[in-house]
Structure 1
Amino acid sequence: MTAVALTLYPLLAAFILPRVLGRAGWADRAPRLAITLWQAACASVVGSVLLAAFVLAVPPAVVGHGLAAFFAACTAWLTHGTGMTVATTGIAVTVAGAVVTRIAYRTAAVLVRARTERRRHAEVLARLGRHDERLGAIVVDYDERLAYCLPGRRASTVITTGALRSLSPEQVAAVLAHERAHLRGRHHLVVAGAEALATAFPRVPLFERARAELAGLVELLADDMAARRHPRVLIATALVGLATGRTPASALGAGGDTALARVRRMLRPETPLGRGQRLAGALAVGLLLGGPAVVALLPGLGSFLAHHCHELLAR
């Protein structure tokens, strides 16, 4: 029954969770919490699949009686099965291995591709751009109004002369603060993780929706971090000036398709979430991350208690 529950959960969650989380009207009031919830939802689905395979491959008694029996059971998997059938055990281990391998492969592919694109872009910037000590950014002679950051080992912020001509010095400072917030928060890893899951398991609604939502939420979070040091109106007016800019691949930029919606958010900020709402969000994250693990461990815990209670009664 535990394996059935852990198998049904990802099938249902992959379709239900994107609808539930997508309707959260509070996400723009607490983007950091929303990011964590989307990541926890994705992790719970993947984790539940792996734990279902674990439950099928390892009998509860093995978990209940300790690690020594667990390691001994590893050999038994290949010869005698685990109380199910050898075929069931083999399928469970194969599925778990395939899921882990697929995620690892796609994650590596996304990171390597992004690193290659950033290295090439950095080489272009080294030839065409110049470092401005006063701004702490690379300035590129280009008429299009752009401001973005290039993550990586040699992270840098970039702004074009077109943006410098159209923005005031205060607006430029606010925009660059937005880009540095991306770098400090390592938001490119959040986006890369979502991209890896969406490409590893295409057409899964949760992963597809998470990829789109996280890309927008990291921009909201960077706006909020920049607003701690700069007036929101400066960030808003700067976003208007950069709205038509197209950020290069594998970079994170202040402009883009979401800029105008973020302008309204900057000019008309809503009340932040209260303590109770944030606590409820934290509990939801804990439930998503810990729920499948608790379900998987319950049979083993029951076996452990039954074994030791029997020993105590026997004495």
Structure 2
Amino acid sequence: MMVALALLVLAGLAAAVAPRVLARSSWPEREPVLGLWVWQCVVAAVLLCCTLAMALSAAASWQVVRGQVFAPAPNGVEEAYGFGSYGPWAGSLAVLLACGGAWTGAMLLREVHEARARRQRRRDELRLRAPRLPGEEPHEGERLVVLEGRKPDAWWMPGSAPRLVVTTAALRRLRGRQLDAILEHEQGHARARHDWLLHCSSALATGFPRVPVFAAFRDQVHTLIEMAADDTASRRFGRLTIALALVELNEDSGVFGPCPTPLAQVPHRVHRLLTGTPRLPVSRRLRMTALAALVPAVPLLVAFVPGLSALR
């Protein structure tokens, strides 16, 4: 009983404390890729705590589940968990956690379905605005699509047939290597599969809006992936180039004005690029990466302690 409760307490502490600690830290802006890795490890630890607590509670309530969970375990391991001390609440807890897992899966499926529907609508719009010319053969893999438009814009459309879309206004507005930097920014999103991070974070935040770690994860993912893509472009074309390109693309959208807009993060991204804050030392990055990878191991250690003790 104590192991399942300890896992739930650990999940609650991580869900409440981790967002505050990471929100007060300034290093994720210097290392957005590392920040994304740390966030993923924290969320994985919370989900793993709930999964292990569900498995132990179900094993305590139903013999058929216990037989499956502890089938490969040596003699004495099952007794070490003291399932006889679990009260009648264990079955209810297992069902509740199982429902939470099913709800998470349903939210993820809904998010993926809605994302596919949005992509299909945009692809239909592309076919209308940029139809294939007579005799033009379908192009496999990446394809650059130029749209006639007054608004300077560029975006990546992921999927089985990815598209890199840029408007004619952006072609007229961006100068020299600025266009190349923006295209590299969008391709950075594609190479890192940032769309899947967005789907997972949105699904968790939508399914569990009162859980602080999931809401913070969604908000931070949106910010950090843009910074990560900015860094990808800046390593090839320079910070000043990508910063000027962002200004050229967004100066008419009101994001640099006194009133806040949904794209208010753009001025902060430009300031970050122009400031040129140095990266963390390599040794510190390696240590933080290793420590973050150990975070999901903590629930496993808590769950396996009784079994490991029985093997002595």
**TM score, norm. by length of structure 1:** 0.82
The 2-side partners of 1:303 and 1:281 are apart by 33
The AA in structure 2 aligned to 1:235 is I
SS at match of 1:172: helix
Q: Which runs of 5 or more residues in structure 1 are unaligned? A: 71-80, 247-254, 306-315
Per-residue Cα deviation, 1:272-294 (whole angstroms, up to 9, x for no partner): 11133213312331232110111
Q: Tell me how far 1:84 sits from its aligned partner.
A: 3.9
Q: Which of 139, 150, 159 in structure 2 is aligned with 1:143?
A: 150
Q: Which of 67, 74, 87 in structure 1 is aligned with 2:71?
A: 67
Q: Tell me how far 1:34 sits from its aligned partner.
A: 0.2
Which residue in the other structure is 1:171 paired with?
A: 178
Q: Does the alignment pair 1:182 with 2:182?
A: no
The 1-side partners of 2:86 and 2:27 are apart by 48
Per-residue Cα deviation, 1:41-88 (whole angstroms, up to 9, x for no partner): 1111111112122233336xx79x952469xxxxxxxxxx94245733
Point out the more displaced range, 214-223 or 3-12: 3-12
Which residue in the other structure is 1:294 paired with?
A: 301
How many residues of Structure 1 are paired with residues of Structure 2 in the alignment? 285
SS at match of 1:294: helix
Which residue in the other structure is 2:166 paired with?
A: 159
Q: Does the alignment pair 1:98 with 2:109?
A: no
The AA in structure 2 aligned to 1:191 is L
Which residue in the other structure is 1:236 paired with?
A: 243
Q: Tell me how far 1:17 sits from its aligned partner.
A: 0.7
Preserved CA contact (<8 Å) 1:243 1:257: no
The 2-side partners of 1:12 and 1:245 are apart by 44
The 2-side partners of 1:176 and 1:69 are apart by 53
Which residue in the other structure is 1:4 paired with?
A: 5
SS at match of 1:263: helix
Q: Tell me how far 1:117 sits from its aligned partner.
A: 0.6
* Cα gap change, 1:14 to 1:297, in 2 (>3 Å): same
Q: Does the alignment pair 1:32 with 2:33?
A: yes
SS at match of 1:67: coil
Matches within 5 A, 1:297-312: 297-305=304-312
Which residue in the other structure is 1:251 paired with?
A: none
The 2-side partners of 1:207 and 1:155 are apart by 29
The 2-side partners of 1:152 and 1:244 are apart by 30
The 2-side partners of 1:94 and 1:118 are apart by 36
Q: Tell me how far 1:244 sits from its aligned partner.
A: 5.2
Q: Which runs of 5 or more residues in structure 2 are unaligned? A: 61-65, 75-81, 133-138, 254-261
Per-residue Cα deviation, 1:180-202 (whole angstroms, up to 9, x for no partner): 11111110101111001101111
CA RMSD of aligned residues (A): 2.8
Which residue in the other structure is 2:210 paired with?
A: 203
Q: Percent identity?
A: 33
Q: Tell me how far 1:109 sits from its aligned partner.
A: 0.3
Preserved CA contact (<8 Å) 2:54 2:98: no
* Cα gap change, 1:300 to 1:261, in 2 (>3 Å): same
Q: Which of 271, 282, 288 in structure 2 is aligned with 1:275?
A: 282
Which residue in the other structure is 2:89 paired with?
A: 88
Preserved CA contact (<8 Å) 1:245 1:256: no
Q: Tell me how far 1:151 sits from its aligned partner.
A: 1.1
Q: Tell me how far 1:93 sits from its aligned partner.
A: 2.6
The 2-side partners of 1:157 and 1:245 are apart by 22
Q: Tell me how far 1:231 sits from its aligned partner.
A: 2.0
The AA in structure 1 aligned to 2:149 is Y
Q: Tell me how far 1:23 sits from its aligned partner.
A: 1.2
SS at match of 1:49: helix
The AA in structure 2 aligned to 1:16 is V
Which residue in the other structure is 1:266 paired with?
A: 273
**TM score, norm. by length of structure 2:** 0.83
The AA in structure 1 aligned to 2:107 is R
The 2-side partners of 1:269 and 1:194 are apart by 29
Preserved CA contact (<8 Å) 2:30 2:278: yes
The 2-side partners of 1:175 and 1:270 are apart by 21
